[in-house]
Amino acid sequence: MQRLIFHVDVNSAYLSWEAARRVSQGLDDLRLIPSAIGGDPAKRTGVILAKSIPAKRFGVRTGEPVASALRKCPSLVLARPDFRLYVKNSRAFADVCRRYAPVVEQVSIDECFLDMTGTDYLYPDPLRIARTIKDAVRDELGFTVNVGVSRNKLLAKMASDFEKPDKVHTLYPEEVAQKMWPLPVGELFSVGHATAEKLRRGSIRTIGELAAADVRVVQRLVGVSMGAQIHAYANGVDDSPVAAEAEAAKGYSISTTLEDDVRTAESAKQILLALSDSVTAHMRQEGRRAACIAVTIRANDFKNRSHQRHLENTTDVTDEVYAASASLFDELWDRKTPLRLLGISLTDITDEETAQLSLFQDEKRERARKRDQAVDAIRRKFGSDTIVRGSTLHSAGSVGRKYRAQAEDDRQLPGDDEPWD
């Protein structure tokens, strides 16, 4: 039985979801005008997360500063990110996919793999059912997707990246030479900018040239493991399965790229507090705890540096994660070099605590955990800005507030002796 794999990818997800909401309210369709998602429209700060096709014609690029985008396109309409909206639409589009596919793997907020193998009696025409799924998302939810159709995940994903939006494309193995090999090598899945540059320096400029190259030559250019993988991908080879259920998270992480360089420990720790709040809330929601904490910083030399620490006991308590993160940060930063990025990673994940504490420590931890859970519940019901940590809200500096929106779920929590706002 031949495999049949679909890759369903939302077209410019963040912008499409905001546009669909505005259209439902009788407002202009952001997809039809120069527009973008990102940063703070009032302050004109932050970076572009998604852009419309009309904005792209002005040269607006995903990832560039908002200020730069506005210089290219002064009439650019900006909207702030809304992660609650994104999660709602992500779940809705995945639910549409599950109506038609026996196995669905949601690999990110805006893309799913569908294993349609064995459905030929139900859906004898793969292109017809692909269009049915595409049209159902558009007609029911108000935004568009591309669907790539092939025999494996790699080729289905490559196909979904062909002409957009609202399209269905095939890339069967017999079509690789015609449709994929002429593309620049940088368009191959998993080949980033740095890898593509190394390949070009080795006179490998297209995916076809990579496919035809001696794998040993490729490995000398980009490394043994990476070389073998991208050589196989260039030849359309991929046997990875579509996983019906995602594996339990092996770790949780969050980071923020800073709009302005951070130069004081006080400002950096306000950001670490917001990040600790966000990542622990995610972990608590899934009933997990961590035994290892790592802090990453990036200075203006663009090199990441990190320290980690193993804890005596697993934790999901915001204050404990923040305290460990602040301590690691103190060990890591030289107090001189301006910072461009801060991040926290939690690993050694378990479902239950693996160590016993003293009675006093248990009682204190339980109070902290119950407080965290109560705040989580309030925020889920009334919004993420309902409660903020008093020390951050009333701080003379505004860094905590400035970067709160970039910390995924926009969470900040009060400590034991701090006021609630």
For the annotated catalytic residues, the residue numbers are 111
Torsion 222-224-229-233 (CA) sign: positive
Cβ(253)–Cβ(344) below 8 Å: yes
Closest alpha carbon to 406 in 258, 284, 299:
258
Cis peptide before 184 (omega within 30 of 0): no
Closest alpha carbon to 54 in 25, 75, 24:
75
Residue 204: how many other CB atoms lie within 10 Å: 23
Instruction: State the DSSP H helix or E strand holding residue 259, giving kind and residue range, or none if neither.
Output: strand 252-262
Which residues, at least 6 apart from 353, have a Cβ–Cβ distance to it below 8 Å? 289, 313, 314
Structure tokens at 99: 């109506």
Structure tokens at 70: 């506005």
Please tell me whether residue 97 adopts helix, strand or coil conformation. helix
What does the alpha-carbon distance between residue 163 and residue 177 come to, in Å, rounded to a whole number? 18
Cβ(290)–Cβ(347) below 8 Å: yes
Q: Enumerate the H helices of 36-169 as residue ranges.
A: 53-56, 66-72, 83-100, 126-141, 153-160
Please tell me whether residue 76 adopts helix, strand or coil conformation. coil
